Amino acid sequence: MVDSREAGVQEDLKSQLFMSDSGIHGKGVYTRDFIQQGRLVIHCRGIERHKDEIVEGMRAMQIGPETYLAEDPDHPGLDDFINHSCNPNVGFLDGSLRFFALKDIQPGEELFWDYSTTMNEEGWEIPCGCGAPNCRGKIQSFCDLASEHKDRLRGIVLGYLR
Ligand SMILES: [Zn+2]
């Protein structure tokens, strides 16, 4: 796991984020203050589990061929509630489990990441209604994306997909 207490590691912005009803789906995560492009926004935290331990309804993201990062029921994190968009404003710029701002984000804006930047189970897909002009219509695993999308997302996928 990433340890933000290491010397020289930039603090994340967890304290200025809040949860509210999403414009797109259920609850979402918003920023109270302006976030500059390139800024570290939040570490993804949770419990590492083998993919066989992931059950329906569990909030979890794939972080390796056989491994998921699942929510910790005792310590739910805001990172578990960030919604998908095909036009995300946060992403894994350095391949580690940390969201960075992909563009300037204004106060009150909802945060979004692209689920295809972590998922890699062949055949997995869910419909997408994110409303972005470049919406792909469905959210798919990275391995199932057309090469134009893979190329576009390559710089914000998790390390294991690079
Ligand atoms: Zn979409």
Residues with CB in 5 Å of ion ligand 1:
86, 128, 130, 135
- Structure letter (DSSP) for residue 97: S
Distance CA 25, CA 115 (A): 14
Which among 148, 144, 31, 33 is positioned nearest to 90, based on CA atoms?
31
Ligand 1 geometric centre to CA of 41 (Å): 22
pLDDT at 9: 62
Q: 40 — phi, psi (to 5°)?
A: -65, 130
Banded pLDDT at 117 (limits 50, 70, 90)? very high
In a domain, 5, yes or no: no
CA distance 86 to 152: 11
Q: Does residue 9 lie in a domain region?
A: no
Range(s) of the domain holding residue 138 = 14-161
Which of the two residues, 6 and 88, has the higher pLDDT score?
Answer: 88
User: What is the tally of structural domains in the chain?
Assistant: 1
Single pTM value for the model: 0.91
> For residue 137, how far is its CA from the centre of ligand 1 (angstroms)?
5
Which CATH number goes with the domain that contains 38? 2.170.270.10
Share of the chain above pLDDT 70, in %: 94
- Kindly tell me if the per-residue pLDDT of 154 is higher than 80: yes
Residue 26 pLDDT level (bands cut at 50, 70, 90): confident
| Ligand 1 centroid distance, CA of 112 (Å) | 11
Which of the four pLDDT bands, split at 50, 70 and 90, describes residue 128?
very high
Secondary structure of residue 115 in the 3-state scheme:
helix
**For the residues of 123-153, what is the DSSP string, one character each?**
T-EEE-----TT--SEEE-GGGS-HHHHHHH
Q: Pick from 118, 15, 99: which is nearest to 60 by CA?
A: 118
* Cα 118 to ligand 1 centroid, rounded to whole Å: 15
Mean predicted confidence (pLDDT) in 49-65: 94
Residue 67, token pair as written in the block: 């491994």
Q: Per the domain annotation, does 89 fall within a domain?
A: yes
User: Given pLDDT bands bounded at 50, 70 and 90, which one contains residue 105?
Assistant: very high
Do the domain assignments include residue 118?
Answer: yes
Asked if the structure places residue 4 within a domain, the reply is no
Residue-level pLDDT at 4: 46
Residue 60 Cα distances to 65, 103, 116, angstroms? 14, 25, 13
Q: Is 11 left (phi over 0), alpha (psi -120 to 50) or beta?
A: beta
Residue 138 has pLDDT above 70, yes or no: yes
Instruction: Indicate the DSSP class of residue 90.
Output: E
